[in-house]
Amino acid sequence: MATASEARKKGRRAPAAKATEPTGVNLPFGRKNYILFGLAALCILLGYFTLSRGSITMAPILLLLGYLVLIPMGILAK
């Protein structure tokens, strides 16, 4: 009969191989995309800031520009 430590060692599996990232993998977005995302985030934050200050004309324009123009451009730009 096997001892407890031998039974534990026998029941263990071999360590799994670490997944390596295949070479030549391209990132989905480039530098231009991230710049557009950054501009969109800045525009949206500025829109919320102007909204908190009571602007009823500039805030919606900035928010729409950020959400409906710059974010889609950041996704679709190549």
Distance, in Å, from the CA atom of 25 to the CA atom of 76, rounded to the nearest integer, reads 19
More confident residue, 55 or 18: 55
For 3-16, how does the pLDDT look when each residue is reduced to its tens digit (9 = 90+)? Answer: 766 666 666 666 66
At residue 36's C-alpha, the angle toward residues 32 and 37, to 5°, is: 115
CB 48 within 8 A of CB 63: yes
Q: Which two tokens stand for residue 63?
A: 């928010």
Domain boundaries, the chain: 28-78
Whole-model pTM: value is 0.66
Four-residue CA torsion sign, 19, 20, 23, 28? positive
Which among 42, 51, 46, 30 has a CA at the least distance from the CA of 70?
42
